[in-house]
Structure 1
Amino acid sequence: MRWIKLGLPLTTLLLGACDDAQPPAAPPPEVFVVTASEQPYQPERTFSARIDSRSDVNITAQVSGKLTAVHFREGDNVDAGAPLFDIDPAPYKAALDRAKAEQERARATLADAKSNLQRANKLIEKGYISDSEYDTLKTRKLEAEAAEQSARAAMESAQVDLSYTHISAPQAGRVGRSVASVGDVVSPSYGTLTTLVGGNDMQAVFQIPERLLTDAAMSDNQPKASDIEVGLIMPNGSEYPYTGNIVYVSNRVNTNTGTVEVRAAMPNPKDLLRPGMYVQAQVRLKESLSGLMIPQAALQVDQQGTYVFTVNENNRVLRTNLQTGERFGENVLVTEGMQAGAKVILQGIQKVRPGSEVVVSDYKPATQAHTGSQPIPATDTNDEETSNGSDAP
């Protein structure tokens, strides 16, 4: 019984000692960081575009007559000056012969009037003719000169009409379908006989928002047209092997769409581009720029704005507020709030808070990060996974 009484205080003492013992402190969490660094990037914008030709020619008849020949196969490439159509030249040859005869008669009349006036010049000095007769001869000479000039113009017009009976290609290019057939009577009012599209005068036509044009105009580093190149993505998704240059920016804004028309001249040596084709125009700087880049996955967003967690030289976590620009591949451009060399937490974000101590390890991706040159719109980082700092890069 006495043993029991002594045992109770001893047991109580032992239990109290157990309660006073502190659990071992948890080790600092491990985080994986990347170092913010200056990297080259190439700003780019993509627009829906269509292909147009500066040398899309409608071939029409300049004179009336029956079509006697079609000299091309539809869809062929033809050289400049190649024959396309012939119109019956017979009535125009006859008209030219009449005009030549009229000119010869006018020349003869002019020669006679000149001779009479020369004789009158001698006679008027000796008083053999009156002033009235002299004036008449002088007037006839002037009238004959005018008639000869009119006849010469009529002959030249007849020659032009005859030349119009032979229709040739005004440029090299691909000829379209022949609307008229041999035997059809054509005229200037008949309309288009065929079309001819030059192969080396293609343009990509696209619309850019007026806001984008205004931003570029107000920028301190406004690029020149010569600093910009235009690439194309073809309808099948392949990249066009040649780049072009901007040659035209409209001087007005489309009030219906709020956009400005832009045209880029595109080389077409392989005849891959056709008028009416729809493509994607990629507008980018020819020379790369340099900017501070960090992984997009490191970004966090809350009511105070965009931020990342960084680690200082004492391995303490800091919240760093920043401003970001365009996204390039898996990275995003930092425009304000961070210096090169900052250690940005990429994995383990959910384990830390500002001021906490961490164990730092360098992040090593399993595969090579894709940087690319095309800017990608910033994704919405308000979802739960991103704002909590997902371990996924």
Structure 2
Amino acid sequence: MRWIKFGLPLTAFLFTACDDTPPPAAPPPEVFVVTASEQPYQPERTFTARIDSRSDVNITAQVSGKLTAVHFREGDVVEAGAPLFDIDPAPYEAALAKARAEHERAKANLREARSNFSRANKLVEKGYISDSEYDTLKARQQEADAAEQSARAALESAQVDLSYTHITAPQAGRVGRSIASVGDVVSPGFGTLTTLVGGNDMQAVFQIPEKLLTEAAMSDKQPKPSEIEVALDMPNGSRYPYTGNIVYVSNRVNTNTGTVEVRAAMPNPRDLLRPGMFVQAHVRLIDTLQGLMIPQAALQVDQQGTYVFTVNQENRVLRNNLMTGDRFGENVLVSEGLQAGDRVILRGIQKVRPGSEVVASDYKPATTAHTGSTPENAPSGQPDSDSEGDAQ
């Protein structure tokens, strides 16, 4: 009776097989979403710039002579008209005295020639002198007049030469190192005696790529220079307390670099800017704009481009391919692919696929998100660590 030995296990197996029902379906995964919304932002580009001065003056000698005095301390701030150098004036004082005497003699000769010609006018009418004598007297007057003008010009030239022996500051500013010393013989060919940099004519000079200039020129909303401001970051990383405005854009492209020179006038009341200083120039619109923003962490990238997952009204997952712009803090500007009010999956991206059903909850960050007003130069479209790669 071998069937008795196996009968009980077989009966238990058949009973168990009849009771085996399918397990319940897993609930939809939970994801956390943020709502795409219009937010204010300021478009901005950052460039490396150097500081230049429009009033960077080379002080040189206009006449030759021995240097007799230096009236400034190197590095001082001087006012316009302040004395800088003195050149020995003795030779020029003598030349001026001689020119003044020559002018006086020329004036006396002119008076005599005019008097003789005036009498000649009366005499020729009565026939007391010939036409030839009349013409001679007229010519002498003209010669005396020309001689007086020449002597007067020589006198003025001597006065100018004497004034050049006292070299003064043509403008207010900071004076540089004195190249010449007392006792040196200087001349127009000597070169620069010192430099003088005005404090309030500083400019930030930077180069923008020709591509960027072309895009701005072709834009339907090309901003005017009055709508743009320039902020600076100092060499130590601090923000310069004043902003400037663009005053010059070159009319040609540098063929070696493919860039265009731009100059921004910068106020300098505290004398913080110096020619040759390198800074970071932030070029931005003065007024804010409105644009559609989402967190940078929601972006995904694959071979088709940048995209996000959204949740529709039926709680189904959709893929939205995007065109993105600048980053502003933790957010990125979206130009195409989303509408205000769309629910974008920020957390739980690795759990979903297009078309799958989810339970969507609003994402509540531990701290308030920093939207900022300044775009970051880092490329957009990189997923965060929670996304665990491309979600296909």
Q: Amino acid of the residue matched to residue 255 of structure 2?
A: T
The answer on 1:79 being equivalent to 2:76 is no
Query: Do 1:349 and 1:389's aligned partners in 2 also have CA atoms closer than 8 Å?
Result: no
Tell me what 1:307 maps to: 307
Q: Sort the Cα spacing of 1:263 and 1:126 in 2 relative to 1 into closer, same or farther, 3 A.
A: same
Q: CA deviation at 1:63?
A: 0.4
Which deviates further from its counterpart, 213-222 or 374-383? 374-383
1:157 counterpart residue number: 157
Residue-by-residue CA offset, 1:314-363 (whole Å, 9 max, x unaligned):
11111112211111111111101111000000000011111111111111
Q: How do 1:45-64 residues align onto structure 2 when only pairs under 5 Å count?
A: 45-64=45-64
Cα RMSD, aligned residues only: 1.7
Match of 1:11 in 2: 12
> Aligned-pair distance for 1:296?
1.0
Identity %: 78
Residue by residue over 1:136-164, the C-alpha shift from the partner in whole angstroms, topping out at 9 and shown as x without a partner, is 00100110000000000000000000110
Partner residue of 2:167? 167
- List runs of 5+ in structure 1 lacking aligned partners: none
* TM-score when normalising by structure 2: 0.96
After superposition, give the CA deviation of every residue in 1:349-384 in whole Å (9 maximum; x if it has no partner). Answer: 011111111111111111222222222232463899
Q: 2: CA distance between counterparts of 1:181 and 1:255?
A: 44
Report the counterpart of residue 183 of structure 1 in structure 2: 183
CA distance in 1, matches of 2:242, 2:360: 47
Greater mean alpha carbon deviation, residues 121-130 or residues 148-157:
121-130
SS at match of 2:103: helix
- Cα deviations across residues 31-65 of structure 1 (Å, max 9, x unaligned)? 00000000011111111110000000000000011
Aligned equivalents of 2:53 and 2:227: distance in 1? 24
Structure 2 residue matching 1:378: 3-state secondary structure: coil
Structure 1 residues 312 and 56, CA, compared in 2 at 3 Å: closer, same or farther?
same
Question: How far apart are the structure 1 equivalents of 2:98 and 2:191?
Answer: 30
Report if the CA contact (8 A) 1:302-1:382 is conserved: no
**Gaps in structure 2 of 5+ consecutive residues:** none
Q: Deviations over 1:108-167 (max 9, x none)?
A: 111111111111111111111111011100100110000000000000000000110110
Q: How many pairs are equivalent?
A: 389
Q: Residue 63 of structure 2 aligns to a residue in which SS?
A: coil
Give, as a single letter, the amino acid of the residue that structure 1 aligns with 2:137: L
Aligned to 1:31: 31
Question: 1:232-311 maps to which residues of 2 (within 5 A)?
Answer: 232-311=232-311
The 5 Å alignment of 1:244-393 reads 244-376=244-376, 377-379=378-380, 381=382, 386=387, 388=389
Post-superposition shift, 1:95? 0.6
Per the normalisation by structure 1, the TM-score is: 0.95
Tell which deviates more after alignment, 28-37 or 111-120. 111-120
Q: Which secondary structure state, in structure 1, belongs to the residue aligned with residue 170 of structure 2?
A: coil
CA distance in 2, matches of 1:5, 1:253: 96
Closer/same/farther in 2, CA of residues 277 and 5 from structure 1, 3 Å limit? closer
Aligned AA (1:14): F
Within a 5 Å distance, the mapping from 1:85-234 to structure 2 comes to: 85-234=85-234
